[in-house]
Amino acid sequence: MGTTVPDMLQNMTSLTALSISWCGLVGEFPRGIFNLPNLRVLEAAMNKLNGTLPEFHSGSHLEVLIFGLTSFRGNIPDSIGRLQSLQHLDLSLSNYSGALPPSLGNLTRLTKLELRMNKFSGQVPSSLANLSQLTRLGLGDNNFDAGTLPLLPGKLQKLTSLFFSDMNLVGEIPMSLANLTQLSSLVLGGNNIVGKIPSFLMNLTQLHTLDISLNQLHGTIPSSISQLKNLEYLYLNSNSFTGIVELEIFMSLKNLVSLHLSRNKLTVLTKNITNSTLPKFHMLGLETCDLTEFPDFLRLQDELEMLLFAKNKIRGPIPTWLWNTSKETLVVVDFGHNFLTGFEQNPVVIPWRNLKYVDLSSNKLQGSLPTPPPNTGIYKVNSNLLTGEIPPSICHNNSLRMLDLSDNNLNGTIPPCLTTSSDDLRWYFLDGDIHGVWKWADRWVGYWDHFDPEVSRMVCRDLWKEEENSEEAEKKGAKELSIVPPILECSALRVLDKSFSVDQAKAVHRERVTSSTS
């Protein structure tokens, strides 16, 4: 049980700074603290504090107000415009709602304004263009009315970071952004932006993060993107880009650690990559990129954490050298929906020691089932040609939350650890000549990483079957997809028939719901 904020703090009239972030605090925050006459710094982020913002008084000396990642709710009062000394306002990742007050434009000393991941609605007030000292502006992941990218960023020429993801933006990337020559982070993912990648983006040479993923952009990816020499994170995935892309154009970006080209209409070529001074990738997303083999440069990658190669045309066995790639660092591997036939050397245990998520589904894998590493939370090897028994060593994994072995040629008995009523393993599917039960847990506790949206989207896609989820819904990301699929609500379902299919399970569920509501 956490500690509450003492009411007595409201009486400390000489207090100039109160920093209580990350303190495990709970309960109602005493409102009188906001208006202490000499208070300049008030930080209470990352606590389970409840409350609403008060009416602010003229003459306040507040310079820093940080209440992100709390349970605060309600509107931002119009009186916030009275905080003439305010330089840093952070209310992100909370439950604030309503329209943004135009009086925010009175806070002309603001350098940082963070309002991301709330429930704000209405229009973005044009008065924000008055905030000429802003270096960081985050308005993404809210419920603003659909509209074009506000022209105001073009007037805020000191901006270094602009976060406008998932805020219902339409139209093309505006030319006004060309004025933001100091920009290091430009995040516009998860909107409905159309058009092509504008050439002026290549002049923003300070960029280290460019995220225009999950939009409706089209055309080719220009080779001039290699001019952005400071890029570390590049997300172009989930658009409608077409054409041939030489992966070599990204290899001159020596600081690049994350590259995501997945889910476009691209043909990515990897043949001409030399082995000298390659970037050290942490994340490489090349799903649906027409690949026919694992790129040879992966041999030299020893810091990868995410490797996404699903829905390509990769054929043959998984090469032995690949098991030695980033053996200590890989967390997420997705090779699903290819034409992989097996393993050059079949490992008893998959050697990526820290793997949390592995998807080898919908291939043509033959041979015995490899055991996932002890830390794996989701293991998908369904829809292959695997034979033999489920290895008892799978019981050594205490982290499994989802196990899908269905649509293989496995036989024998189910290891005892999979048939006991466990609070850990929430969902598994088995078929073939296997004797046992399918277990449906009372509730689903998924493997979520809310601070890694790509992992969240990936897990959401797996839980929400494709026939139940439109492409438009998927593009809204994890926030829209984290609803538990109806089939997982079958809390009482215990099926002994080993031929029982997923479609039949859905039918049983629908019948159960219909009978309970009639």
Lowest mean pLDDT among 58-72, 156-170, 457-471: 457-471
Please tell me whether residues 177 and 241 are part of one structural domain.
yes
What is each CA distance from 341 to 2, 197, 365, 385, 429, in whole angstroms? 53, 38, 4, 9, 22
Please tell me whether residues 89 and 198 are part of one structural domain.
no
Does residue 214 lie within any of the structural domains? Answer: yes
Please tell me whether residues 140 and 178 are part of one structural domain.
no
Does residue 204 lie within any of the structural domains? Answer: yes
Please tell me whether residues 87 and 219 are part of one structural domain.
no
Is the model's pLDDT at 464 over the cut of 60? no
* pLDDT tens-digit series, residues 312-358: 999 999 999 999 999 999 999 999 999 999 999 888 899 999 999 99
Domain that holds residue 216: 157-292
Q: How many domains does the chain have?
A: 2
Q: Is 117 exposed, middle or buried (0-12, 13-18, 19+ CB in 10 A)?
A: buried
Structural domain ending residue among the three candidates 120, 145, 170: 145
Structural domain ending residue among the three candidates 145, 172, 191: 145
Domain with 26 in it: what CATH number?
A: 3.80.10.10
Please tell me whether residues 201 and 271 are part of one structural domain.
yes
402 neighbors 427 (Cβ within 8 angstroms): yes
Is the model's pLDDT at 275 over the cut of 80? no
Does residue 89 lie within any of the structural domains? Answer: yes
Structural domain ending residue among the three candidates 292, 324, 354: 292
Note the pLDDT of residue 471.
44
Q: What is the mean pLDDT of the chain?
A: 83
Please tell me whether residues 218 and 262 are part of one structural domain.
yes
Does residue 30 lie within any of the structural domains? Answer: yes
Note the pLDDT of residue 429.
63
| CA-closest candidate to residue 498, choices 399, 414, 401 | 414
Is the model's pLDDT at 14 over the cut of 80? yes
Average pLDDT (25-39) is: 95
Please tell me whether residues 67 and 167 are part of one structural domain.
no
Please tell me whether residues 138 and 169 are part of one structural domain.
no
Note the pLDDT of residue 425.
59
Average pLDDT (260-270) is: 96
- With a CB cutoff of 8 Å and minimum separation 6, the contacts of 345 are 320, 323
Lowest mean pLDDT among 15-29, 201-215, 268-282, 416-430: 416-430
* pLDDT tens-digit series, residues 112-127: 999 999 999 999 999 9
For the record, the structure tokens of 41 come out as 């710094």
Please tell me whether residues 225 and 127 are part of one structural domain.
no
What percentage of the chain has pLDDT greater than the value 70? 80
What is each CA distance from 237 to 41, 225, 242, 265, in whole angstroms? 40, 15, 12, 10
**Kind and range of the H or E element at 473?**
helix 471-474
Note the pLDDT of residue 329.
97
Please tell me whether residues 169 and 288 are part of one structural domain.
yes
Q: Pick the residue with more confidence: 303 or 276? A: 303
Please tell me whether residues 102 and 57 are part of one structural domain.
yes
Note the pLDDT of residue 412.
84
Please tell me whether residues 65 and 182 are part of one structural domain.
no
Which amino acid, one-letter code, is at 479? K
Rounded distance, CA 204 to CA 476, Å?
27
